[in-house]
Amino acid sequence: MTGIGFGTWAWGNQLLWGYRSETDDPELKATFAAAVAAGLQLVDTADSYGTGRLNGRSEELLGQCLEGLELSSRNNLIVATKLAPFPWRLGRRGLVKAFQASRQRLRGQLDRVQLHWSTARYAPWQERPLLDGLADLVDQGEVRELGVSNVGPQRLRLLHDHLARRGVRLASVQVQLSLLAPEPIRPGGILDVCRDLGVEVLAYSPLALGVLARQPGWTPSDATLLRSGLFRRLLPGSLLLRQAMADMAQARGVNQMQVALNWCRAHATCPIPGFRRPAQVEDAKQALGWTLTEQERSLLDQLSLDCPVRMPDNPFQSA
């Protein structure tokens, strides 16, 4: 079984998460401290996290949190960021300035750099030079590890083999995976390929933006406009699935969030739920103390694959 990491997409995001600096920053810092104390070993961010004028806010906040860490705690934590392949970032050195800016916001504490998404669907010629540039940073000792995000099984094999030929290990691939986004578990999917290649899978949005943590009968109250729309579409169609999760949770004396996270772990992936409150960290910590049975996992697999609603696909996800 894998561990559990945590993500910081919501840190600085007003549009989807309703971020407000004056009220949220103290709680986010307390959340980070709780996650480190709980032994969670990977934190994920991105240079594009934070909306509008707050672009880069997630990395900045995380850097402030990292700055005060004791060395022993810091050595147990993998800090990962993702760099966006924007159209103006071109060539082998197209991400160097972005990397330097991210490292500065993170107070120099950066272990794994990841290409945020694949350009295969709209500018395939852009992707490999950018990836080579990130691999150069690994070769030069500027960063320890390299990962990719939002790539499918076919693209992953190509990128992995290209990096292997130049002697750079691909540490991880980050994809959307949850009980409402189960495509990676299908035969021949990204999970099968990663097992073959020895690449770690980071499962983002494992709670489907909170949908999977909601008990049957729950209705939205204070969510942002975008999340409210998602709830209206996904809650009714996922009722049978969430009822099964609720039944499992009740039988074990846990909650649905823990069931959702352990389903990802049962598929040998490391879920990276987004945390904004210390109580969410406590749920993740408790989830590390138990595992789904094979029968429970199989039942959830089937209910997930049969579910009539799905999380929206990432538009940049490659084949």
Predicted local confidence at residue 16, as pLDDT: 85
Contacts of 273 (CB under 8 A, 6+ apart): 4, 6, 7, 206, 207, 257, 261, 280, 284
pLDDT in tens, 191-202: 999 999 999 999
How would residue 221 be classed by pLDDT, with cut points 50, 70 and 90? Answer: confident
| 122 has catalytic annotation | no
Whether 218 has a pLDDT exceeding 90, the answer reads: no
Average pLDDT over residues 249-254: 96
Amino acid at 246: A
Percent pLDDT > 90 in the chain is 85
Phi, psi (degrees; rounded to nearest 5) at 228: -60, -40
pLDDT in tens, 142-196: 999 999 999 999 999 999 999 999 999 999 999 999 999 999 999 999 999 999 9
Whether 68 has a pLDDT exceeding 90, the answer reads: no
Whether 1 has a pLDDT exceeding 70, the answer reads: no
Of residues 19, 49, 122, 204, which has the active-site annotation? 49
Amino acid at 8: T
Residue pair 221/18 in contact (Cβ under 8 Å)? The answer is no
Predicted local confidence at residue 190, as pLDDT: 96
How would residue 222 be classed by pLDDT, with cut points 50, 70 and 90? Answer: confident
| Bridge partners, residue 82, by sequence | 114
- In whole angstroms, give the CA distance from residue 270 to residue 287: 12
- In whole angstroms, give the CA distance from residue 41 to residue 262: 16
Q: Return mean pLDDT, the chain.
A: 95
Angle between helices 278-287 and 256-266 (to 10 degrees): 50
Which has the closest alpha carbon to 175: 190, 164, 186, 161?
Answer: 190
Which has the closest alpha carbon to 128: 90, 78, 98?
Answer: 90
The two structure tokens encoding residue 208: 């489907």
Average pLDDT over residues 208-236: 89
Phi, psi (degrees; rounded to nearest 5) at 24: -85, -35
pLDDT in tens, 42-55: 999 999 998 777 88
> Judging by beta carbons within 10 Å of its beta carbon (0-12, 13-18, 19+), is residue 52 exposed, middle or buried?
exposed
pLDDT in tens, 114-149: 999 999 999 999 999 999 999 999 999 999 999 999
Predicted local confidence at residue 52, as pLDDT: 74
- In whole angstroms, give the CA distance from residue 231 to residue 208: 10
Contacts of 72 (CB under 8 A, 6+ apart): none
Question: Comparing 106 with 17, which gets the higher pLDDT?
Answer: 106
Predicted local confidence at residue 54, as pLDDT: 80
Predicted local confidence at residue 134, as pLDDT: 98
Whether 253 has a pLDDT exceeding 80, the answer reads: yes
Ordered alpha helix ranges (H), the chain: 14-17, 21-37, 57-67, 71-75, 96-105, 124-139, 153-165, 190-197, 225-237, 239-252, 256-266, 278-287, 294-306
Task: Give the angle 245-310-80 at the CA atoms, nearest 5°.
Answer: 85
